Chains A and B, each alone.
Chain A
Amino acid sequence: MSANYLIIGASSGIGEACARELAADDTTLVLVARNREKMLKLKDELPGRIYVAEYDLNDLNHISSIFDICATEGIRFDGMVFSAGVDGTWPIKTNNVQKMQEMMNVNCFSFVELSKSFYLRRNSNDGAAIVAISSIASKSLDKGMSAYCASKAALNSYVKIMAKEFISRKVRVNAILPAGVDTPMSRKKMELLSVEDAGNLIPAENIAKQAAYLLSEEALYINGELLSVGAGLIY
């Protein structure tokens, strides 16, 4: 069935896996990330109509421009996957205001602005769905991860409120809260923290399938849900 999806953070990790999962001959994808090269390479590998837009989510003030494509190409989205995020590990003892703010801007506030534009009738169809990639960290709240956990916990709150506010157009909003996923971001963090055992990282493809499910008709009655994919981590 033909569908139009917006994927934020499509150049790597879970976002890339979602692009691969959702791409199909009769599907249009709009990929958004900072890395244009990577997205263009991905576009070559995928079926269907693919648009690529370079954007740095640190700029909260022009996010609506991402949706200009709706007017120029006659697209109304059926779904959005928000898979952009930065991570970072530092104790409150060495808190850095700039890093803290950037994390909140990219991980949380950009999602709010994106959803605001997504919800406009000219940008999305009634019955469309939004999936945000949050993290189980928002629940397990480990030391050293204050800014990251807080940004994801805030993201969770926005997801639930949006689900309530977007009901009139039947736009569902849900989040996935994975434990460690096998992505460049996770690998980099493991290297930094000298964690050797990659052991239980969840394949990004699995999270992409969860996202596809939440965007689908099967999930029609799931709304405002925080779906933990804990891989054994029970908090």
Chain B
Amino acid sequence: MTLEEKKSIIADILEKDVEDIHEDSLLADFEAWDSIAVLSVISEVERATGKYLHASEIKKLKTIDDLLELFGA
């Protein structure tokens, strides 16, 4: 998966345009970073990597970069 593709998935989850997704942005600054977003991340990571993460692992994340890392190499 390319960086653009990962950013695009994250943009959809955070209900933003992909241009607004910057690696060092804080997740807490996004209004759409809520419990539904966490569920979306679980779904999308599973689709991309086959792994099911737990909600607690995702809630711990701080930045967009942390999210990007979940999608693997």
With known contacts A143-B36, A144-B36, A96–B59 Cβ distance under 8 A: no
Residues of A within 8 A of B44 (CB): 94
Residues of B within 8 A of A191 (CB): 54
Residues of A within 8 A of B68 (CB): none
Question: Interface majority SS on B: helix, strand, loop or mixed?
Answer: helix
Is the CB–CB distance between B40 and A94 below 8 Å?
Answer: yes
Is the CB–CB distance between B54 and A90 below 8 Å?
Answer: no
Question: Interface majority SS on A: helix, strand, loop or mixed?
Answer: loop
Chain B's closest residue to A94 (CB) is: B43
Is the CB–CB distance between B56 and A194 below 8 Å?
Answer: yes
Count residues of B near A (Cβ-Cβ below 8 Å). 16
Residues of B within 8 A of A93 (CB): 12-13, 36, 40
Q: Closest approach, in angstroms, between the C-beta of B36 and any C-beta of chain A?
A: 5
Is the CB–CB distance between A90 and B55 below 8 Å?
Answer: no
Contact with A along B6-28 (1 / 0, CB 8 A): 00000011000000000000000
With known contacts A144-B35, A194-B59, A90–B52 Cβ distance under 8 A: no
Chain B's closest residue to A195 (CB) is: B55
Q: Is B39 an interface residue (CB 8 A)?
A: yes
For B40, give its contact among A91, A192, A193, A194 (CB under 8 Å): A91
Is the CB–CB distance between A96 and B47 below 8 Å?
Answer: yes
Q: Closest approach, in angstroms, between the C-beta of A204 and any C-beta of chain B?
A: 24
Q: What is the CA–CA distance of A216 and B13 in the complex, to the nearest angstrom?
A: 49
Give B28-73 interface residues, CB cut-off 8 Å to A. 35-36, 39-40, 42-44, 47, 52, 54-57, 59
Most buried by A among B35, B43, B57: B43
Contact with B along A206-219 (1 / 0, CB 8 A): 00000000000000
Is the CB–CB distance between B39 and A89 below 8 Å?
Answer: yes
Q: Closest approach, in angstroms, between the C-beta of B40 and any C-beta of chain A?
A: 5
Is the CB–CB distance between A90 and B12 below 8 Å?
Answer: no
Residues of A within 8 A of B39 (CB): 89-91, 94, 144
With known contacts A91-B43, A144-B35, A194–B54 Cβ distance under 8 A: yes
Is the CB–CB distance between A91 and B36 below 8 Å?
Answer: yes
Q: Which residues of A contact B (CB under 8 A)?
A: 89-91, 93-94, 96, 143-144, 191-194
14 more A-B residue pairs beyond the given contacts A192-B54, A194-B55, with a C-beta to C-beta distance below 8 A = A89-B42, A90-B40, A90-B42, A91-B39, A91-B43, A94-B39, A94-B40, A94-B44, A143-B36, A144-B39, A191-B54, A192-B52, A193-B55, A194-B54
- Nearest 10 CB-CB pairings of A with B: A194-B56, A94-B43, A194-B55, A90-B43, A91-B36, A193-B55, A94-B40, A144-B39, A194-B54, A91-B39
